[in-house]
Amino acid sequence: MPIDRHFDNCMKTYFRILAFARPIEKFAIPYFFFSILGTLFGLANFTLLIPLLDVLFNNVSSEKLRYLLSEPTFGVNLYYAKELFYYYFAWIIVKFGKLAALFFVCAIIIFSVLVGNIFNYFAIRVLEYMRAHTIKRVREAIFKRTVSLDIGYFTNTRKGDIISRTTSDVYELEHTISNSLSLFFKEPISLLGFFIVLFSISTSLTLFTLIMLPFSAFIIASISRALRRQANLSQESLGSIVSILDETIGGLRVIKGFNAIGYIEQKFVEENNRYAGLMRAMARTRELASPISEFLGVMVLTVIMLYGGSMVLDKSSGLSASAFVAYIILFSQVLRPAKAMSVSFSNMQRGISAGKRIFQILDTIPEILEKPGAQPLPGFKQSIEFKEVSFSYGQEPVLKNISFNIQKGKTVALVGPSGSGKSTIADLIPRFYDVKSGSILIDGVDIRDCTLSSLNSLMGIVTQEPILFNDTIFNNIAFAVQEATQEDVERAAKIANAHEFILQTEKGYDTIIGDRGSKLSGGQRQRLSIARAVLKNPPILILDEATSALDTEKEKLVQEALNNLMQNRTALIIAHRLSTIQHADEILVIQNGEIVERGNHESLLLNDKGLYKRLNAMQAL
């Protein structure tokens, strides 16, 4: 029962993979057509061996010639084609001699090989088009699912593993796609055609041959099961390698700064050795399938030669020497599609294992979903309200019954110790996470009742660590604003105090800034992210410690840019440096997930025992 269930799961995964090839009939029908024609012309090559050998063995008697010289009755079938060939074969022998007949047979064989290979070429082209089409759709599906997942998913899943599933696992799927039609269409058609011809030569000899095949199939199936187990482990190990590499590149400053190169190298080497061991094991298993199937084929062929040879020696069997030689040559070709099927099946095991890992992402349901019938927010006109909001990561409470209101055009600042819940409050407004209890209202409407796109269209977010892309300065500022003009971008850059330094770069607004803006300083990166928010022109701003990582000189430029950005907007500011929020309309002091103080800068300083005054005094020192 477990074996049956496992087989069912594999087949479900396989058919889910093939679903990405839709409309599959667009590829399967022409592939089937070209495969049949290629197989037919390929079989013709071998059936022509019998008359060729008859000529060489001088086995064409005058009685047989008289029989063959009777012109066949026309018909659209293989029998008519065969009889017509023998008619012209006999006619050439009679009129031009056996040497001319030999030339005739050889010419037909060359023609048949040429036409058969042309059809096989078209079959391969169809297969490649199908593979490219399917893999494109799989990658698109993974990417769309990845960007739709909630932020919380990525805190529990390694980025390297996701990258591995999008690259190496999808690459493994290519083998499944390319081998699937071959496994289920071309090779079975070839086998069927070969056995039809074999039966036509000798029924008893072919029945004897079929007795030997189940034994071979059992051994190949055992190898395939072992390969499937190893494929699962190897894909998981490769995901770990990519994850370590991603973390190393992203954290290279820390690794070098803490003199931890040896530690991280050892970590990589251990996982790399594990992957190499799994790959060696897979190679041993995979490559074992080919020689074993070949050995079994030769063993079966030897037994057939013994049995068939005895039939030729026994004149009463009706099997001529030329027919038997053609039979042996033809049966040796049966090994090719049989071997190809075993290799294809083995490769498909890796593809199915990769498919299961891919579908783990595709089947993940985002925790942040729109309600059925969610309505778009028409705009922002009144206020943002937190009503008794509580939130927790797992079992650990982060916010406890938080309530406050941000009126349109006002600025509210959040201050407090690290880990008090300030950033969590900011993440809840654009629904990066959902509240556990309570509600967040925009103009009196619960944000969970709104469409995500309309909610996010109201937001402009500037974080402590600027998020930039390996693209031009222009495209980073105009990010997702497709209709932005050069004048719009430059105007946003001037408001963000970025225009002057942009002009000093190598190509101005067309300068590529490197991975995550690595070619720019921290202040320059931050001003670009502010310019991006300016261009979007959102009514609501969320500033998450946007100047805390900058020195005094850069902070001044960035703060001036932020002041320009906040004009006539509603803003929620998370502040590390209290000097940057002295002009906020209201300051909320957060501690242990609760609001412990609230008021403006002056009123909070009047509370001698308050946390705000203590934090202010510490920063002054």
Compare 209 and 572 and report the one with higher pLDDT. Answer: 572
pLDDT of the residue at 272: 83
Q: Which of 108-117, 275-284, 306-315 has the highest mean pLDDT?
A: 108-117
pTM of the model: 0.69
Three-state secondary-structure class, residue 83: helix
- What is the Cα–Cα distance from 101 to 86, expressed in whole angstroms? 10
446 alpha carbon, distance to own chain's centre: 36
- Strand order in 459-462's β-sheet? 459-462, 540-544, 570-574, 411-415, 586-591, 594-599
What pLDDT, on the 0 to 100 scale, is given for residue 442?
92
Residue with tokens 């089409």: 133
Average pLDDT over residues 407-413: 90
Task: Decide if pLDDT at 399 tops 60.
Answer: yes
Answer yes or no: are the C-beta atoms of 602 and 434 closer than 8 Å: no
CATH number of the structural domain spanning residue 387: 3.40.50.300
Residue 487 corresponds to which tokens in the numbers above? Answer: 């004048």
For β-strands 570-574 and 540-544, DSSP reports them as parallel
Token pair of 89 as six digits: 């074969």
17 compared with 235, residue with greater pLDDT: 17
H or E element, residue 384? strand 383-393
Q: What integer is the mean pLDDT of 197-209?
A: 79
Residue 307's pLDDT band (cuts 50, 70, 90): confident
Boundary-marking domain end, from 97, 114, 148: 148
Q: Residues 455, 430: contact at Cβ < 8 Å?
A: yes
Neighbours of 364 (CB within 10 A): 15
407 within a domain of the structure (yes/no):
yes
Domain-located, residue 538: yes
- Residue 27's pLDDT band (boundaries 50, 70, 90)? confident
Chain segment 497-554, per-residue pLDDT in tens: 888 888 988 889 898 988 778 888 878 888 888 888 888 888 888 888 766 555 555 5
**How many folded domains does the chain comprise?**
2
What is the H or E stretch that residue 475 is in?
Answer: helix 473-477
Q: Show the domain range for 527.
A: 383-620
Examine residue 244 and state whether it is found in any structural domain, yes or no: no
Q: Which residue has the tokens 């430029």?
A: 557
Within-domain flag for 157: no
Asked if residue 64 has pLDDT above 80, the reply is no
Rounded CA-CA distance 135/352 in Å is 14
Tell whether 112 is covered by a domain: yes
The residue among 148, 172, 188 that closes a domain is 148
Asked whether residue 477 is assigned to any structural domain, the reply reads yes
Q: How far is CA 296 from the centre of its chain?
A: 37
How high is the mean pLDDT of the chain? 78
Res 385: pLDDT: 93
Average pLDDT over residues 242-271: 72
Name the domain boundary from 148, 166, 185: 148
pLDDT reported for residue 1: 42
Residue 588 placed within a domain: yes
Distance CA 141, CA 136 (A): 9
Q: How does pLDDT run across 324-364, given as a tens digit for each residue?
A: 777 777 777 776 776 677 667 766 777 777 888 888 888 88
